[in-house]
């Protein structure tokens, strides 16, 4: 899959880098939403992102880290060692100030599937808008097939609204409102979300760190 929603955010040097450094990378995630975003973003950089199934990886990865960065690195390193291909791991979540940073690294396991947004909204009942500040955090870890490790982090600030809005995105997107754009992540066109999201910011930093390194990796 090749995407175009991120291309307008790239400078000329990055576009040149894209054309000269096409490679294949395994996305260390079973989350279809995250996989789609990584494919959309990285395909514009000349990187073919393949799924765990396509790479023949079917083992469970234990996320035992205490930070987003540690968990992202665990995922990428495990997949690279098993497949021999460069791998990219993503660990992301929602930090809500009124809940002392919860759900944080436990965002995907905060409640039963289908009840996570409801759980957050219930815990925030009675909390005024000015105190419902939150941010999405994303750590990206890339482990190249030569063993080199690169980790970056991005954030996107917003507010948790009182109800779900929008049909797009995934996870907590329908309740995460970005005042600057007067939309939730779920209301945004994919092109917009993929240009301002925590994941997009972490990826941009990753691209800068990858420049000059990909040619040394066996892909």
CA 122 – CA 195 distance, rounded (Å): 30
Q: Which residues pair with 143 in a beta bridge?
A: 87, 149
Q: What's the full length of the chain, in residues?
A: 219
What's the sign of the alpha-carbon dihedral 45, 142, 65, 68? negative
Q: Give 10-residue mean pLDDT values along the chain (219 residues).
A: 44 43 82 84 81 94 94 96 94 97 94 92 96 97 92 98 94 97 96 91 86 52
Choosing from 11, 53, 91, 173, which is the catalytic residue? 91
In the chain, where the domains are located: 7-216
91 is catalytic: yes
The whole-number pLDDT of residue 114 equals 86
The whole-number pLDDT of residue 4 equals 42
Give the phi and the psi of residue 206 in degrees, each rounded to 5.
Answer: -65, -40
The whole-number pLDDT of residue 212 equals 56
Specify the CATH number of the domain 7-216: 3.90.950.10
Q: SS3 sequence, 30-82?
A: CCHHHHHHHHHHHHCCCEEEECCCCCCCCCCCCCCCCCHHHHHHHHHHHHHHH
Outline where 88-130 has alpha helix (H): 116-123
């Amino acid at each position: 899959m090749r995407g175009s929603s991120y291309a307008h955010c790239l400078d000329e040097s990055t576009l040149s880098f894209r054309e000269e450094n096409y490679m294949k990378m395994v996305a260390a995630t079973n989350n279809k939403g995250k996989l789609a975003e990584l494919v959309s973003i990285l395909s514009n950089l000349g990187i073919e992102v393949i799924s765990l199934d396509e790479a023949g990886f079917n083992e469970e990865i234990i996320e035992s880290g205490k930070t987003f960065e540690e968990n992202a690195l665990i995922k990428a390193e495990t997949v690279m060692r098993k497949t021999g291909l460069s791998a990219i791991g993503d660990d992301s979540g929602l930090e809500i100030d009124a809940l002392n940073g919860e759900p944080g690294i436990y965002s995907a396991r905060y409640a039963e599937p289908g009840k996570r947004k409801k759980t957050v909204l219930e815990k925030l009942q009675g909390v005024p808008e000015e105190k419902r500040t939150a941010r999405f955090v994303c750590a990206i870890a890339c482990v190249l097939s030569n063993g080199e490790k690169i980790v970056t982090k991005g954030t996107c600030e917003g507010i948790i609204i009182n109800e779900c809005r929008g049909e797009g995105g995934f996870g907590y997107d329908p309740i995460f409102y970005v005042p600057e754009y007067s939309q939730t992540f779920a209301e945004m066109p994919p092109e917009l979300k993929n240009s301002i999201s925590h994941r997009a910011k972490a990826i941009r930093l990753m691209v800068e760190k990858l420049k000059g390194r990909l040619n040394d990796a066996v892909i």
